[in-house]
């Protein structure tokens, strides 16, 4: 009777292990396919539009992202399989450990866990954080983000670190544990719309109706503007020597927002100068004995 019970227990452990592995592989495969499909739909992998010297850099970036995605999920599968096998071996060998002292096994197990935890703590932190980043939707490959005052696009998420392609094509490498603990601004929102905001100043002697007209017309002329509504103009602050103004415009992507701000800001500067509108007021103070020539 005892042999039958051991056989049934062993069979149940095998069935549970196979079922668990099938469930995990199904979830991983579906997640990988969704991530790959999204990468295929991305039109660019840079935080702003630029003319790179090499050709087909977008296709190269896409191929690299897909290759990295496959490698990442391959590592995840191997890691989960190793963990599952260890758990399965532990459960399968449980009936044969009756002859050993439970206290002795607990002591050795706890000591081994502590040593491994201390030695591999930074690595394990980043690996676990990499799994969380992979399966969460906080940020994904191709998202444009601002982290540590660094503006760029997520180029790759490895099991231990994340690579961010900055606006000037440098690479900013961040441990995955930091990606979970630091504040990140994600500009790649799900609505496919983003506001491009320009902040500028004019003097108190300026005709604010004319300033408003100049700013809105400058925004209207851009082909990157999205929608039928005019750009929004606000007076935000009345400071000591100038008036702070905002101009906000809708566009599609963070890269378009960057170029829209650059284009419209230049046009506003030209128009304000052409109409004699000063960007701020100032006073020149000199001491009684100062020479001016």
Query: pLDDT tens, 98-134?
Result: 555 555 555 555 655 555 555 556 767 777 887 788 7
Angle between helices 57-93 and 2-41 (to 10 degrees): 170
If DSSP codes are grouped into helix, strand and coil, which group holds residue 287?
A: coil
Say which residues have a Cβ less than 8 Å from residue 86's Cβ, sequence separation at least 6: none
Q: Does residue 8 sit within a domain?
A: yes
How confident is the model at residue 116, as a pLDDT?
55
Q: Does residue 228 sit within a domain?
A: yes
- The C-alpha atoms of residue 68 and residue 75 are separated, in whole angstroms, by 11
What average pLDDT does the segment 139-143 reach? 84
**13 plus 101 within the same structural domain:** yes
Query: pLDDT tens, 224-240?
Result: 998 888 999 999 999 88
Query: pLDDT tens, 268-287?
Result: 999 999 999 888 655 444 44
- The C-alpha atoms of residue 242 and residue 281 are separated, in whole angstroms, by 6
Closest CA to 8 of 130, 105, 92, 131: 92
Q: Does residue 45 sit within a domain?
A: yes
- The C-alpha atoms of residue 155 and residue 141 are separated, in whole angstroms, by 6
Q: How would residue 293 be classed by pLDDT, with cut points 50, 70 and 90? A: very low
User: Can you give the residue range of the structural domain that contains 39?
Assistant: 2-135
Q: Does residue 24 sit within a domain?
A: yes
How confident is the model at residue 286, as a pLDDT?
44
Q: Does residue 238 sit within a domain?
A: yes
**117 plus 211 within the same structural domain:** no
The count of domains in the chain is 2
Q: Does residue 232 sit within a domain?
A: yes
What average pLDDT does the segment 90-101 reach? 61
**215 plus 129 within the same structural domain:** no
How confident is the model at residue 292, as a pLDDT?
40
Q: Does residue 286 sit within a domain?
A: no
How confident is the model at residue 290, as a pLDDT?
41
In the predicted structure, residue 47 carries a pLDDT above the cut 70: no
Q: How would residue 291 be classed by pLDDT, with cut points 50, 70 and 90? A: very low
Neighbour tally for 222: CB within 10 Å: 19
Q: How would residue 289 be classed by pLDDT, with cut points 50, 70 and 90? A: very low
**16 plus 105 within the same structural domain:** yes
Range with lowest mean pLDDT among 45-59, 138-152, 155-169, 184-198: 45-59
How confident is the model at residue 137, as a pLDDT?
73
Query: What does the H/E/C string look like for 184-220?
Result: CEECCCCCCCEEEEEEEEECCCCCHHHHHHHHHHHHH
The CATH number for 199's domain is 3.30.70.100
| Most confident stretch, 12-26, 81-95, 151-165 | 151-165
**130 plus 14 within the same structural domain:** yes
In the predicted structure, residue 197 carries a pLDDT above the cut 80: yes
Q: How would residue 183 be classed by pLDDT, with cut points 50, 70 and 90? A: confident
Which helix (DSSP H) or strand (DSSP E) does residue 150 occupy? strand 150-157
How confident is the model at residue 221, as a pLDDT?
92
Where does a domain end: 102, 117, 135? 135
Query: What does pLDDT average to over the chain?
Result: 78
Across the strands, what pairs with 239? none
Neighbour tally for 111: CB within 10 Å: 10
**8 plus 102 within the same structural domain:** yes
How confident is the model at residue 253, as a pLDDT?
83
**31 plus 116 within the same structural domain:** yes
Q: Does residue 189 sit within a domain?
A: no
């Amino acid at each position: 009777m005892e042999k039958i019970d051991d056989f049934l227990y062993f069979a149940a452990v095998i069935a549970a292990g196979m079922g668990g592995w099938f469930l995990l592989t199904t979830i991983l495969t579906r997640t990988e396919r969704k991530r790959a499909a999204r990468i295929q739909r991305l039109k660019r992998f840079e935080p702003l539009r630029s003319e790179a010297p090499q050709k087909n850099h977008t296709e190269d970036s896409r191929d690299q992202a897909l290759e990295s995605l496959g490698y990442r999920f391959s590592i995840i599968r191997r890691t989960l399989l190793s963990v599952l096998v260890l758990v399965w071996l532990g459960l399968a060998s449980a009936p044969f450990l009756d002859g050993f002292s439970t206290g002795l096994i607990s002591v050795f197990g706890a000591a081994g866990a502590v040593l491994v935890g201390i030695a591999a703590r930074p690595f394990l932190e980043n690996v676990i954080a990499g799994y969380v980043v992979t399966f969460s939707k906080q940020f994904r490959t191709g998202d444009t983000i601002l982290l540590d005052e660094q503006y760029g696009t997520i180029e790759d998420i490895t099991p231990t670190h994340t690579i961010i392609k900055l606006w000037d094509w440098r690479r900013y490498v961040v441990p995955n544990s930091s990606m979970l603990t630091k504040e990140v601004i994600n500009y790649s929102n799900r609505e496919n719309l983003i506001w491009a905001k320009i902040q500028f100043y004019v003097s108190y002697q300026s005709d604010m109706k004319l300033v408003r007209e100049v700013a809105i017309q400058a925004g209207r002329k851009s082909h990157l503007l999205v929608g039928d509504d005019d750009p929004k103009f606000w007076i935000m602050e009345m400071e000591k020597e100038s008036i702070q103004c905002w101009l906000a415009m809708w566009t599609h992507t963070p890269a378009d927002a960057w170029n829209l701000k650059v284009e419209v800001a230049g046009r506003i500067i030209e128009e304000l100068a052409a109409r004699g509108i000063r960007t701020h007021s100032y006073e020149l103070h000199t001491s009684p004995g100062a020479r001016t020539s």
